[in-house]
A and B are shown apart, each in its own frame.
Chain A
Amino acid sequence: DAGVTQSPTHLIKTRGQQVTLRCSPKSGHDTVSWYQQALGQGPQFIFQYYEEEERQRGNFPDRFSGHQFPNYSSELNVNALLLGDSALYLCASSSLYHREGGEAFFGQGTRLTVV
């Protein structure tokens, strides 16, 4: 059973460019959340997708957008990249209907560097 998979693992972009990160959730999970983790910090919640809709959003600008597909996989898009967007982007999958006692499983992350 594959866990949460993210691609790519590393990415270098130039300031002002746009980037798309991808995530496939763990088998049986229907909810995908995205987190940004700056160096030395804990992950910060960006948003969550369930049933192909954004259900909740953290304190991130509109430059951050996402999508969930019918197979539950998800994309995170960031437009007009800033140097401060450099971070590890983590995808976490969970099951909305089994969330009692159910932990979120994290992918290995995408390390984004903006130069």
Chain B
Amino acid sequence: EAQVTQNPRYLITVTGKKLTVTCSQNMNHEYMSWYRQDPGLGLRQIYYSMNVEVTDKGDVPEGYKVSRKEKRNFPLILESPSPNQTSLYFCASSSQGGWTDTQYFGPGTRLTVL
């Protein structure tokens, strides 16, 4: 089954404790990205990647890091989480990132930073 998976689905942590949210897709997509969803703000892009070893900032990259060492994986790293990073996070992928492409979303990771 074609899908985007994320782990963990739920995470409660404390300020300053490094964490990684994993994202994996099995559709051989070149393009992957991370969004955060906050009430009243819709979804905002954090980082994106056009291919292996190619990443760039989205709208709200501060406090986040990403890496793309393999085509299928695109982990999101919070080196020193803060309470304002409490949010619902979605990973997405599409075949080549073209403007007509459908993006496929993971199930989401709900992060709470205390």
Q: Do A and B bind each other?
A: no
What is A's interface to B at a CB cutoff of 8 Å? none
Q: Which residues of B contact A (CB under 8 A)?
A: none
